[in-house]
Amino acid sequence: MNKPDPRAESGFSYSRAFFEDLVDTALAHAKKLGATDAGAEASEGCGLSVSVRKGELENVERNRDKSLGVTVYVGNRRGNASTSDFSRAAIEQTVQAAYDIARFTAEDPVAGLPEEQDIVSPSAASKNLDLFHPWAINSAQAAELARVTEEAALKTDRRITNSEGAAVSAQQSHFFSAHTHGFRGGYASSRHSISVSPIAGKGDDMQRDYWYSSQRHPDDLASPQAIGRYAAERALSRLKARKISTREVPVLFESPLAAGLLGALVQALSGGALYRKSSFLLDSLGKPVLPKHIDILEDPFVLRGKGSSPFDEEGVRVKARSVVEAGRVQGYFLSSYSARKLGMKTTGNAGGSHNLTLTSRLTQAGDNLDAMLEKLGTGLFVTELMGQGVNYVTGDYSRGASGFWVEKGRIAYPVHEITIAGNMKDMLKGIQAVGADAYNYGAKTVGSILLSKMKVAGS
């Protein structure tokens, strides 16, 4: 095999050519052992994470990891094994381990690689989506950036009395994957972030909040001053929070939390949940699960997108599509395996959804947060959720929350120590409006979401 080339990619120890050789060696050995089919992926990641608290350096961490994962099929039996040792002996031992696991695993009639007609073409596999932008930042520069972010928060107001710290992270990785149904592909990607968590108030009235910016390219990150000030303003706004009595009211989810509602919908429409019958949206294809004014689009090809990829984790081609149109489900999120379990075709979602955007046909350009509060009228504006209280089988939803009580379209006072509850089916169908204050969280873009009513349990 080729020797690793430290100069092959910025900051990487191994070249694409080395990884291709590694994967080909693994596949050849699997065939030699008698495997029906096989797949392998070689990957490497590296990065820097630095945190500062109250102006003092708290943590510097450098990470570098590598892996070769091998999947072997013996008929309909499947085995997996992995190693971080790239020597030929280790590769052969790993393939042997995967082969031995496959031989003694129970048969699964739908196990296997994707169908050859679903594999991405070589030209599409090499599509450049502008995902790799390494950040040439050292630990001293990262620490200074974190310090400036935290200082901006602390200087916003004298009521910002403390900090849980600020952090800067610069991460990058690359991989190459191939399998015996003709797929070959891989690419490099990066993800960088700046975050801070200031504390406001003192004594019995202390509140914390945070803010962050995360992007593929460091030049796209928000300024440290803006991140610090906004985090501080969020913490300050929560001072003198009150409890409220139990009631049923309209609820406005701030856009980061609205992305969580979209995530719950994706989970319920995912193949694994559907074939296990552990979803509250069973047999929902073609049926209305959202109001007629709601559309959800998936686009894997957004340049620098956090959910962008020219193919899915199995090497299946991906495409832009409508997931929900006028409230009706147009497609699930399926891998080859879950598609076979359901008697359907893969949607190119092995590994999850790609860039999703939820929009409302009722949204106007001026529907900023103030306009959404006016639409809320009198009710609850939720800015933080706690716990994981979603039952995906029944759709029952119950989570600790805090935010603001709104009266006649204006924030009256902050509230805390409450629980909001409902059922996801009713919540999704009860979406009255979506704000134009769209923000991208991970691979989901959505504005604030107004629900017609939820139960709010307080004092």
DSSP lists the bridge partners of residue 193 as 169, 214
pLDDT at 5 > cutoff 70: no
Alpha-carbon distance 180 to 37, whole Å? 6
Mean pLDDT of 279-306: 97
Strand 356-360 with 444-446, pairing: parallel
Cα torsion through 114, 119, 125, 127, rounded to 10: -120
What local confidence, expressed as pLDDT, does residue 7 receive? 39
CA dihedral 408, 413, 419, 420 (to 10 degrees): 20
Quote the CATH superfamily of domain 16-237.
Answer: PmbA/TldD superfamily (3.30.2290.10)
Q: Which residue has the tokens 């559907």?
A: 274
Domain ranges in the chain are: 16-237, 247-457
Q: 317-334 pLDDT, tens per residue?
A: 999 999 999 999 999 999
pLDDT at 58 over 60: yes
Question: What one-character DSSP code corresponds to residue 285?
Answer: B
d(CA 179, CA 27): 7
**What mean pLDDT comes out for the span 404-421?**
96
Q: Residue 79: how many CB atoms within 10 A of its CB?
A: 23
Q: ∠ at Cα 51 (45, 57), nearest 5°?
A: 125
Per the CB < 8 A criterion, the answer to whether 23 and 183 are in contact is no
Question: Per-residue confidence at 389, pLDDT binned at 50, 70, 90?
Answer: confident
pLDDT tens digits, 203-221 = 888 999 999 999 999 999 9
Alpha-carbon distances, residue 45 vs 49, 112, 188 (angstroms): 13, 28, 9
Treating both helix axes as pointing N-terminal to C-terminal, what angle do 88-103 and 16-33 enclose, rounded to 10 degrees? 40
* 32 torsion bin: left (phi>0), alpha (psi -120 to 50), beta (else): alpha
Q: Which amino acid is at 16?
A: R
DSSP string, 221-252: SPPHHHHHHHHHHHHHHTTT-B----EEEEEE
Q: What is the pLDDT of residues 149-164, one digit of tens each?
A: 999 999 999 999 999 9
Residue 459: its pLDDT value, please?
Answer: 78
The chain-wide mean pLDDT, for the chain, equals: 95
Distance CA 87, CA 91 (A): 6
Give the pLDDT mean for 176-196.
97
Measure the N-to-C terminal CA separation of the chain; round to a whole number of Å.
Answer: 68
Q: In the numeric block, which tokens belong to residue 362?
A: 């009722």
Strand extents, DSSP E, 365-409:
379-386, 396-407
Residue pair 24/1 in contact (Cβ under 8 Å)? The answer is no
Is the pLDDT score of 8 beyond 90?
A: no
Statement: residue 9 has pLDDT above 60: no
Say how far apart CA 200 and CA 232 lie, in whole Å.
Answer: 8
Q: For the CA atoms of 277, 279, 280, 285, what is the dihedral angle to 10 degrees?
A: -80
pLDDT in tens, 224-258: 999 999 999 999 999 999 999 999 999 999 999 99
